[in-house]
């Protein structure tokens, strides 16, 4: 039977597939950590209250990278190079979504518009992260190590998403509403195409490792294209709405530097 749970099971049970899966995840998290760390240091004076929250956001992403790497090492594996076509963060950056890495490396203070760009990018990508972690959480139930790690990450991603809603609503109330709406829409529409392409690439690499027959690979690819068709035809709206979250000030606490689950 071809189910999402079976597919995850196949990946979790195979060292090489699990190694690639965790390496891709760890690399994406670490890049998110790097971006947020840079942005936290470049927050303009008018948004100074955000700096600590962005630093916390970055520290969480770095922690997630370490958690995925720890999962690998527990199995006696080492991280492997991430194929370029599976690199979600770099592909978004290459498509001009979010703040360009070259801009962040210039170490020049950001403008308020830059902060809006960062938050819109995060609103969309954190929704993706939150949904992916919830899916992983559902399907890793009988594997305690993975389930514990994913629970920690999933909770953080929900916090990140709540924080993005709250901060974007604050900036919208301060007069940035129109720019925010336009930027969220452009970001979401670009992201969902990249997400589809990255998902197809990840599936192709994993399918190669796991020796999936062509009909099976074709069914999975069709599933990914089906999700994209749904998102393209209106599902994207869930990624751009703004609602005051139940969890307020979700990133208001201190930076937690250590991966506490390990």
Residue 226, exposed/middle/buried by CB under 10 A (0-12, 13-18, 19+)? exposed
Residues 6+ apart with CB under 8 A from 112: 44, 46, 47, 171, 176
Work out which of 31, 33, 53, 61 binds Fe ion, going by CB under 5 A: 61
The Cβ-side half-sphere exposure at 24, using a 13 Å CA radius, reads 18
Looking at beta carbons only, is 126 or 191 nearer to Fe ion? 126
Element (H, E) at 206: helix 177-210
The mark string for 214-233 relative to Fe ion (x by CB under 5 A, - otherwise) is --------------------
- Residue 216 structure tokens: 């099976």
**Minimum distance, C-beta of residue 175 to Fe ion, in the bound complex (Å):** 27
Rounded Cα–Cα distance for residues 181 and 178 (Å): 5
Looking at beta carbons only, is 64 or 212 nearer to Fe ion? 64
- The site that binds Fe ion (CB under 5 A) totals a number of residues, namely 7
Looking at beta carbons only, is 153 or 240 nearer to Fe ion? 153
Work out which of 38, 56, 64, 176 binds Fe ion, going by CB under 5 A: 64
Looking at beta carbons only, is 63 or 228 nearer to Fe ion? 63
Q: Does 167 bind Fe ion (CB under 5 A)?
A: no
Q: Does 63 bind Fe ion (CB under 5 A)?
A: no
Residue 102, exposed/middle/buried by CB under 10 A (0-12, 13-18, 19+)? exposed
Looking at beta carbons only, is 47 or 122 nearer to Fe ion? 122
- Residue 144 structure tokens: 């305690």
Q: Does 160 bind Fe ion (CB under 5 A)?
A: yes
**Minimum distance, C-beta of residue 98 to Fe ion, in the bound complex (Å):** 13
Task: Return residues touching Fe ion (CB under 5 A).
Answer: 29, 61, 64, 126, 129, 157, 160
């Amino acid at each position: 039977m071809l189910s999402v749970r079976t597919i995850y099971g196949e990946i979790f049970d195979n060292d090489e597939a699990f190694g690639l899966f965790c390496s891709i995840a760890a690399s994406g998290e670490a890049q998110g950590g790097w971006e947020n760390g840079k942005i936290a240091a470049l927050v303009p004076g008018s948004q100074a209250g955000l700096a600590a929250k962005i630093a916390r956001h970055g520290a969480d992403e770095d922690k997630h990278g370490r958690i995925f790497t720890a999962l690998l090492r527990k199995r006696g594996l080492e991280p492997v190079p991430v194929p370029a076509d599976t690199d979600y963060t770099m592909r978004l950056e290459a498509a001009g979504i979010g703040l360009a890495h070259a801009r962040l490396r210039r170490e020049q203070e950001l403008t308020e518009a830059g902060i809006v760009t960062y938050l819109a990018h995060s609103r969309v990508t954190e929704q993706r992260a939150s949904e992916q972690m919830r899916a992983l959480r559902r399907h890793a139930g009988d594997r305690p190590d993975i389930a514990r790690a994913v629970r920690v990450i999933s909770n953080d991603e929900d916090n990140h998403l709540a924080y993005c809603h709250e901060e974007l609503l604050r900036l919208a109330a301060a007069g940035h509403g129109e720019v925010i709406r336009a930027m969220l829409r452009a970001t979401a529409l670009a992201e969902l195409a990249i997400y589809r392409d990255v998902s197809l690439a990840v599936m192709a690499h994993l399918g190669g490792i796991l020796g999936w027959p062509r009909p099976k690979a074709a069914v999975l690819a069709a599933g990914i294209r089906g999700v994209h068709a749904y998102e393209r035809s209106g599902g994207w709206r869930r990624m751009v709405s703004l609602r005051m979250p139940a969890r307020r000030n979700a990133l208001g606490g201190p930076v937690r530097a250590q991966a506490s689950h390990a």
